[in-house]
Amino acid sequence: MYAGHNCTNYVAYRLIESGMPNARPWEGSGNANNWGAEMASITDQVPRVGAVAWWKANVPPAGSAGHVAYVEKVISSTEIVVSEDYWGGDFHWRRITKTGTGWPSGFIHFNDVELEPTAPPAVTDAPTVGRPLEVQPGTWTPTATSFSYRWLAGGKPISGVTTAAYTPSPEHRGKALTIEVTATRNGFESGTATLTTRAVAPGTLVPTEPPTIEGTVEVDRSLSLRPATWSPAPASTTVQWYADGVAVPGATGSTFQLGQEQIDQRITARVTATAPGYRKAAAASEATTPVLAGAISVRSPFAIAGRPRIGKTLTVESGAVEPADAAVAYTWLRDGEPVPGANSQAYILGPGDVGRSIAVRLDVSRPSYRSAVHILRAVGPITTVPALRVRPRGESGRAAISVRVTAPGASAPSGNLTVRVGRRTVNATLTNGRGLILVPELRAGVKRVVVRYSGTNVVSPAVARSSVEVLPTRG
């Protein structure tokens, strides 16, 4: 403004250095007291770095021509640091507080220092409907202390979106997003950087749980489809049922009636989801087991024939099944547990079966049919035939009868004995398979001996005969 050491020359130099043209912005006097008056439209009470601190005439430290200085730092709205020069003086820095003396009459904002980006803003991902998108504000000089954001889609502001993160909605599909990042720092002019993305891509519907087929996989039965769940929820879904991977014409509902043509085929269902702004998505169920023709029915019952006694053979008498060519597998059971190796239609009872419950399990099967299981129980318990051995010994006026009973599958059987010698009868008890019975008051001579064993619930009765010679009584 004027040559030499003076405030206007120094400040004009700083403004030209900041990029302003080397020309006075008004006509008339360039004295400092005219600066704020001539540029009243850009003068206020807000200090900013790069602004001109202006003092009216005779406002300390100004003289009659006023004073101007360059704002170097804004500590707060009431404390600043300026650099300045004086008429006939020299350059220096000065700290000024509003509570002290010398606070400027105003601040002229010719070309304040503005925050500038040194690295531009960037987004974390490609813009996609339904996928969160976040903008990184970039780096700034001087370092910004806060940021604000303005989002636009197709050039039009998105109402209510003022944060760094935004999830594009379906109506923004195909539109480019613009993000205006405004950086702020106390004492500096705010700076703005703009980022424009590519067009928003359609979103993806994601099945969080696949559809599930429920029901009995058998002809004339109906299967139902438990729907899939999606993120986000679709606007609509359609269903198509498949048999061995081939679409079944017209099978597009939530249920599917199985027919003869689906026998032995595996059933699946495919759900297609749609929503505005999203690509179509599909989710398929797991395949079912092969469709069965139905259950095997027994038209006439099976039965067990044979005597439930050790050494005897139990046989399964065949019944009639539908379909007639169904296969029957046999498993004989002892007290409910399979007997090793007993897998034929006949079963010979052995010592291990005595006193036990014997049954047979019939597994009826045929390809394409649901298998059937039938349990046939035998009459029981299984019994055994004892061997009764009698050893009589004649004594003077009496007989001693030794009895032993053994039976396959029954160790040391118990029970009651009836012993008859001649015309005299004695009752006794068998203990651990043995008994010794004395028959007194017998006349001398050869006598018939009959021993009867009563048996138990698993050991059959038995009779043994013998003879004994009773000795005369000694006188």
**Measured distance CA(370)–CA(216) in Å, rounded:** 10
Contacts of 401 (CB under 8 A, 6+ apart): 390, 391, 392, 393, 419, 421, 436, 437, 438, 439, 449, 451, 468
Average pLDDT over residues 194-207: 96
> DSSP secondary-structure letter at 290?
P
> What would the two tokens of residue 192 be?
């703005």
- Is pLDDT at 475 greater than 70 in this prediction? no
Q: What share of the chain is helix, strand, coil (3-state, %, to 5)?
A: 5, 50, 45
**Measured distance CA(51)–CA(109) in Å, rounded:** 5
Report DSSP letters for 168-191, one per residue. Answer: --GGGTT-EEEEEEEEE-TTSB-E
> What would the two tokens of residue 69 be?
């200085």
- Using one digit for the tens of pLDDT, what is the confidence trace for 28-51? 889 999 999 999 999 999 999 999
Task: Tell me what pLDDT residue 4 has.
Answer: 79
**Measured distance CA(273)–CA(229) in Å, rounded:** 10
For residue 35, the surrounding DSSP H or E stretch is helix 32-38
Average pLDDT over residues 287-314: 92
**Measured distance CA(328)–CA(346) in Å, rounded:** 13
**Measured distance CA(389)–CA(402) in Å, rounded:** 8
- The domains of the chain, with CATH numbers, are 7-108 (3.90.1720.10), 116-203 (2.60.40.2700), 206-292 (2.60.40.2700), 295-377 (2.60.40.2700), 387-470 (2.60.40.10)
Indicate the average pLDDT of the chain: 94
Task: Tell me what pLDDT residue 142 has.
Answer: 93
Average pLDDT over residues 344-352: 95
Nearest to 281 by CA among 244, 231, 245: 231
pLDDT grade, residue 183 (50/70/90)?
very high
What b/e sequence results for 116-150 when a residue is b if at least 16 CB atoms lie within 10 Å of its CB, and e otherwise?
Answer: ebeeebebeeebbbbeebebebbebeeebeebebe
- Is pLDDT at 2 greater than 80 in this prediction? no
- Is pLDDT at 254 greater than 70 in this prediction? yes
- Using one digit for the tens of pLDDT, what is the confidence trace for 98-135? 998 899 999 999 999 999 999 999 998 999 999 999 99
User: How far from the centroid of its chain's Cα atoms is residue 388's Cα?
Assistant: 71
| Residue whose pair of structure tokens reads 């004594």 in the numeric block | 395
- Is pLDDT at 1 greater than 80 in this prediction? no
**Measured distance CA(46)–CA(10) in Å, rounded:** 21
pLDDT grade, residue 380 (50/70/90)?
confident
- Is pLDDT at 351 greater than 90 in this prediction? yes
Task: Tell me what pLDDT residue 442 has.
Answer: 94
230 neighbors 210 (Cβ within 8 angstroms): no
413 neighbors 430 (Cβ within 8 angstroms): yes
Q: CA neighbours within 13 Å on the CB side: how many for 413? A: 29
